A and B are shown apart, each in its own frame.
Chain A
Amino acid sequence: MLKRGQSSLFRPYQWIVFITLICLFLPTTLAAAPRKNAKKKAPPLNLPPLKTQEQKMQLLGYIRSTMPTRRIARSVSFSSADLDQALEQELGPTSQAALAKTIDDETFIRRVYLDLTGTLPTPQKIDSFLASQQRGKRAALIDELLETKEYARKWARYWSSVIFYDSVANKNRVSPQALEDWLAEQFSKGAPWDYITVMLISATPQRNKAVRNDFGQKYGPNNFVLACENKSTELASQTARIFMGISIKCAECHDHPFDNWKREQFHELAAFFHPYTYKMPDADDPTVKTVVKPRFLLGEKPHEKMKSDARRVSIAAYLAYNPQNYWFARAYVNRIWSELIGDGFYDVDSLGPDSDVIHKPVVNRIAANFRYKNFDPKWVFRLIMNSKIYQREMRTMSSTSELFTAVRPSRLRPDVVASAVEKLAGYDKKLHQEIMQVFDMNPSLPQGALEGSIQQALLLMNSATLQSRLSQSELKQQLVKINSNEDLVQKLYLNVLARHATEQEIQRNSEYLNESENREEAIEDLVWVLINSTEFRTKR
């Protein structure tokens, strides 16, 4: 019901019609029900049964309609140029001098392919892109890739991994794959982020006792709640972490050491997720417990008689639609920014005090406009990727003041490394699993905190499966047939690194070919070198 169709454009009249329908549909007593004024005995809450997702969406629409959403700036536009201007103003004159150059088309196409599809562009695609004289071809490529299945799959995989990376749930009772498939379908349809969030948070998986290990995990959206083992404390901290980007976990046991989250606030949030009366254990003596009433982080209270599944819907509503809760939109924006630029405005899921956010006006403006664009995920990609900041050359920056003057070279995620390897060597189940395992990384850690490993180096250097597959690969067969060293090197670089070789590289590699006694072996060596290069596993 809340789905806003395939179109990324929002049609306000749909909302008006929808909300009017809901208001007519719901008993009139409801209209004022969950407002403040809780001292009067709350009237009974005659909600329709919330069995289906449609019914939940109806309730959500209702709660949303009771909130001061203030969509004043619906017609405001915020373009990539506006973003650049805002950021450059923030960076100030000193940093501006250090702004990295804009990347060339070839670097752009590889970067954009990796970011939007998790794969490398084919040599044909690279050549046709470079040859194109079309104005605005970069923007057109972004648009094109946003409509691919690979885009939906890549980001579904990312979010599924964000949700499951730290999960300690029993593996028989969850299905990361079902979640990924569902997310891919949503991203593919262009579903808005608030809708996706609502579906995840308000899910109430039912256990099917007749079937062993059936906890409802086959239905994708159930898996956020299942990943949290349906525990109210876990749901509270993961909701705050993933959907608001804030870390309130330590407040479970004590007042947050460096922020103003109070211990009680954490437990009020946990109570929101709790099916029955929630009791907070005493900080000093855990056997002493006090009842805590559910309350959302900005003080929003659910209707007293609201049942837990309805409460979950309202959490989602308070998350997405309370205009004072800027964390929700900003968390999404910051994650995508961090993935695309290599650094976030703050560490994605561990925001302490709000003062830790750098260039706050910029991220807040993007977040506000994300809201005006009805939380359309593709809008965020378009905004960032069409900006100058995204299209700058890479550089490793070590001080905060340098951030966003260039793009940080980023490690490719395990599935991206696996797909790059498979493109060259072909698919091998065991090799795939090995790569996924040794290149595994926490998707919520900043690039700066990630490290490689000896096992990664050993795998790419020595894996017998990989080496034998490479030596029989189609690419090698093709390379062997090329007589001109220059053509050979170009083909090699285009296929492995998705770019042309430089003059120097042609010369160096040709020399290597000439000096070698066995040309076929030498070709294998060149492939080996590129696969073992840092560039192969890095977004430049």
Chain B
Amino acid sequence: MQADALLHLNLNRRGGISRRKFLQSASLGISGSALLSQFRLNAAELKKEGRSCILVWLAGAPSQMETWDPKPGTPNGGETKKIATQTPGIEIAHYWPKIASVMNDIAVIRSMTGKEAAHERGTYHLHTGHRMLGIEKFPHFGSVVAKEIGDPQSDIPNFVSIGQTLSSGFLGVQVAPFIIDRPGQLPDNVFNDTPTSRQQRRLALLSQQESDFADAGAAALVKEQSKLYQKANLMMLSPRLKAFQFDDEPTAMKEAYGKSQLGQGLLVARRLVEVGVPFVEVRSGGWDMHNNVFKGMERRAPEVDQGLSQLLIDLKQRGLLDKTLVLCMGEFGRTPKINARPPVPGRDHWVKNFNLLMAGAGIKGGQVIGKTDENGQEIVDSPVEVDDLFRSMCHAMKINADMELHTPIGRPVKLVESGTVINGLFR
């Protein structure tokens, strides 16, 4: 691949680099138009074949009764009312009119049941599919996706997170999340204003410096570093970098996603998926509503309501929804009973039942899976465990859930330990 030649420090047999060869390949890189079309082709190829996943993470654990499982008129229901949705028979909380209008594409899981009621542990469980138990750091599902279906030669990372998230754990840095803090801007340090010719001279001198160090006995480290520099340089020159920005989006599109950080993040997520990034996480914070859950919902819901509904519309219009899994969830649920916390009551941590949204990638929309009782205290139909959820996520991404991963000490662990694909979820 030509892209490889861009900064390939051609190691000779002793691990050194021939200067002539380096300059040759560097000059190849500058005449970049052939290179650009190659990337476009790759992106198209990925779009055709590859699947992607967008995880919308509601950090802090949103209340199930104020989202997709409202119980108005019951002792636990509180101020939340319910509204009808696009799908006859499905009703959700009144904070979410725009989600209601795209319900035909969404499967609501109302019977999630978890095991971890602390934020950090719940976050870990719902991101890795494993409970936090000691020293082994299980990988973020995004890292598994990046490893299994990402392109190892890719010029931009296979896993991007807008906002801090978990790590790739024992899968290592190759599939670690590339984290950006502000959506709509290029990643930190990805750009410099050094003229190309000067940059090339620097890199040429660097390659000789590296060659000497390789000869001195550090060949393996030099080889790895030159690979990383090659990747970094590829990224700096990547036409796909544009996906991180949205200067070229029509104003109407930007407005459709909403001006919020989350809305912009979701727009970036769509753009990344469009250029072939297989996993993107977008974070929304502020869902830990021990106090003031109803006012809190009024404040927090509109951004997600607007951004997420627009994401689904947009993906569908572009023909991407069939291969893109969209997940919207938090780490657990909240107590059905409203607490007596002064001055304004809210809901506390609750792991027995909670809910989430899934869409795309073959999932049958316009349906509700699972049911809770009238007061929202108990699951009365089709409980779904975290393992079942992860099996379903693997199914949607066409990843083998029974695959074995190996921890650093060589202990084999299953990607998903048990569970079954959620019954009736897929078309």
Which of B188, B208, B411 meets A458, CB within 8 Å? B188
* Bound Cα distance from A521 to B198, whole angstroms: 9
- Give A418-445 as 1s and 0s: 1 = Cβ < 8 Å from B's Cβ atoms: 0000000000000000100000000001
Interface membership of A358, Cβ < 8 A: no
Partner of B208, one of A233, A257, A462, A508: A508
Contacts A396-B219, A529-B202 given; indicate if A467 touches B210 (C-beta within 8 A).
Answer: no
Chain B residues near A463: list those with CB within 8 A.
188-189
A166 contacts B209, C-beta separation under 8 Å: no
Looking across the interface, which residue of chain B has its beta carbon closest to that of A457? B232
Q: In the complex the two chains form, what is the Cα distance from A118 to B338 in whole Å?
A: 54
Q: Is A66 an interface residue (CB 8 A)?
A: no
Does B75 interact with chain A (Cβ within 8 Å)?
Answer: no
In the complex the two chains form, is B228's CB within 8 Å of A533's CB? no
Name the A residues within 8 Å of B137 (CB-CB).
Answer: 166
**Nearest Cβ distance between residue A248 and chain B, in whole angstroms?**
10
Measured CB to CB, the nearest residue on chain B to A234 is B134
Assess whether B408 is in contact with A458, with CB atoms less than 8 Å apart.
Answer: no
Asked if A530 CB lies within 8 Å of chain B CBs, one says: yes
Which B219-247 residues sit within 8 Å CB-CB of chain A?
A: 219-222, 224-225, 228-229, 231-232, 235-236
A-B Cβ contacts below 8 A, count: 141
Residue of A whose beta carbon sits closest to that of B118: A170
- A453–B225 CA distance with the chains assembled, in angstroms: 9
Q: Size band of the A side of the interface?
A: 35 or more
- A535 cross-chain contacts in B, Cβ below 8 A: 209, 213, 218
Asked if A459 is at the interface (CB within 8 A of a chain B CB), the reply is: yes
Q: How far is the CA of A39 from the CA of B177 in the complex (A)?
A: 58
In the docked arrangement, what's the CA distance between A506 and B409, Å? 45
Near B by CB (< 8 A), chain A positions 439-481 give 445, 449, 451-459, 461-464, 467
Is A504's CB within 8 Å of the partner chain B? Answer: yes
Decide if B135 touches A394 in the complex (CB within 8 Å).
Answer: no
Known: A409-B217, A452-B173, A525-B202. A241 touches B135 (CB 8 A): yes
Q: Which of B199-216 contact A (CB under 8 A)?
A: 201-202, 205-206, 208-210, 212-213, 216
- The number of chain B residues with a CB under 8 A from chain A is 49
Asked if A495 lies at the interface with its beta carbon under 8 angstroms from chain B, I say no
Compute how far the CA of A533 lies from the CA of B235 in the bound complex, rounded to whole angstroms: 19
**Considering the complex, which residues of chain A in the window 490-540 have a beta carbon less than 8 Å from any beta carbon of chain B?**
502, 504-505, 508-509, 512, 521, 525-526, 528-530, 532-535, 538, 540
> Given A249-B136, A394-B217, A528-B202, does the pair A451, B192 have CB atoms closer than 8 Å?
no
In the complex, B190 has a CB within 8 A of chain A? yes
Cα(A396)–Cα(B221), bound, Å: 8
The chain A residue sitting closest to B121, CB to CB, is A168
User: Scoring B residues 262 to 278 as 1 if CB is less than 8 Å from chain A, else 0, what string do you get?
Assistant: 00000000000000000
A223 on the B face (CB < 8 A): no
Contact between B190 and A458 (Cβ–Cβ < 8 Å)? Answer: yes
Docked-complex contact A168 and B409, CB < 8 angstroms: no
CB < 8 Å: which of B134, B192, B221 contacts A461?
A: B192
For the complex, is A307 an interface residue (Cβ under 8 Å from B)? Answer: no
Chain A residues in 8 Å Cβ range of B132: 168
> Does A9 belong to the interface (CB within 8 Å)?
no
**B133 beta carbon closer than 8 Å to chain A:** yes
A453 to B176, Cβ gap below 8 A? yes
Contact B221 A409 (CB under 8 A): yes
- Are the CB atoms of A454 and B178 closer together than 8 Å? yes
Question: Which of A100, A349, A434, A456 lies in contact with B228, CB distance below 8 A?
Answer: A456
Contacts of A58 in B (CB 8 A): none
A394-B218, A396-B220, A396-B221 known; A445 and B120 CB under 8 Å? no
C-alpha gap A249/B174 in the complex (Å): 27
Q: Most chain-A Cβ atoms within 10 A of its Cβ — which of B134, B212, B222? A: B134
Interface members, chain B 119-139 (any A CB < 8 Å): 120-121, 124, 132-137
CB atoms of A257 and B411 under 8 A apart: yes
- Are A529 and B205 touching (Cβ within 8 A)? yes
Contact B189 A459 (CB under 8 A): yes
Q: B124, B178, B218, B232: which contacts A538 (Cβ < 8 A)?
A: B218
Give Cα A452–Cα B137 distance, bound, in whole angstroms. 18
Q: Quick one: closest B residue to A449, CB to CB?
A: B408
CB of B424 within 8 Å of the partner chain: no
**Chain B residues, CB < 8 A from A512:** 201, 205
Q: Is the CB of A445 within 8 A of B189?
A: no
B209 near A452: Cβ-Cβ < 8 Å = no
Chain B CB within 10 A, most for which of A396, A434, A526: A396
With A and B bound together, what is the CA distance between A395 and B221 in angstroms? 10
A350 at the interface (CB under 8 A from B): yes
CB-defined contacts of B62 to chain A, threshold 8 Å: none
0/1 per residue, B160-174, Cβ < 8 Å to A? 000000000000111
The residues of B that contact A265 with a CB separation of less than 8 Å are none
Task: Kindly report which residue of chain B lies nearest to residue A508, judged by CB atoms.
Answer: B208
Question: Are B178 and A451 in contact, with the CB atoms below 8 A?
Answer: no
Contact at A525–B121, with CB atoms within 8 Å?
no
A39 to B133 CA separation, bound complex (whole angstroms): 37
Q: Determine the distance from Cα of A7 to Cα of B427 in the docked complex, in whole angstroms.
A: 75
- CB pair A534–B218 under 8 Å, yes or no, is yes
Partner of A453, one of B135, B173, B188, B208: B173
A237 is an interface residue with CB less than 8 A from chain B:
yes
Please tell me if the beta carbons of A461 and B198 are within 8 angstroms of each other in the complex.
no
- A464 CB contacts on chain B under 8 angstroms: 189, 192
Residue in B120, B205, B220, B411 whose beta carbon sits within 8 Å of that of A250 in the complex: B411
- The verdict on A339 contacting chain B, using a C-beta distance below 8 Å, is no
A462 touches B135 (CB 8 A): no
- How many angstroms between the C-alpha atoms of A534 and B226 in the bound complex? 9
A466 → chain B closest CB, angstroms: 9
Q: How far is the CA of A349 from the CA of B407 in the complex (A)?
A: 13
Complex interface residues of chain B between 139 and 186 (CB less than 8 A to chain A): 157, 172-174, 176, 178
Say whether A394 contacts B408, CB under 8 Å: no
Please tell me if A352 contacts chain B, counting CB pairs below 8 Å: yes
Chain A residues lying within 8 Å of B235, measured Cβ to Cβ, are: 454, 458
Q: How far does the alpha carbon of A489 sit from the alpha carbon of B161 in the complex, in Å?
A: 42
Complex contact B228–A453 (CB within 8 A): yes
How many angstroms between the C-alpha atoms of A241 and B408 in the bound complex?
14
| Shortest Cβ distance from residue A49 to the other chain B in the assembled complex, whole angstroms | 33
Most buried by B among A247, A252, A411, A534: A534
Interface residues of B (CB under 8 A from A): 120-121, 124, 132-137, 157, 172-174, 176, 178, 187-192, 198, 201-202, 205-206, 208-210, 212-213, 216-222, 224-225, 228-229, 231-232, 235-236, 408-409, 411
CB-defined A-B contacts under 8 Å, sample of 22: A100-B217, A168-B121, A237-B134, A249-B135, A252-B134, A347-B409, A349-B135, A434-B188, A451-B174, A453-B173, A454-B235, A463-B189, A464-B189, A512-B201, A512-B205, A532-B229, A534-B213, A535-B209, A538-B218, A538-B221, A540-B213, A540-B217
Which 5 residue pairs across A and B have the least CB separation, nearest first?
A: A457-B232, A396-B220, A458-B189, A350-B409, A462-B192
**A residues lining the B interface (CB < 8 Å):** 100, 166, 168, 170, 233-234, 237-238, 241, 247, 249-250, 252, 257, 347, 349-350, 352, 393-396, 406, 409, 411, 434, 445, 449, 451-459, 461-464, 467, 502, 504-505, 508-509, 512, 521, 525-526, 528-530, 532-535, 538, 540
- Beyond the given pairs A396-B218, A525-B201, 15 more chain A to chain B contacts, judged by CB atoms under 8 angstroms and listed by A's residue number, are A166-B135, A168-B121, A234-B134, A247-B409, A257-B411, A350-B408, A394-B218, A455-B178, A464-B192, A505-B209, A521-B198, A526-B205, A528-B202, A532-B229, A540-B217
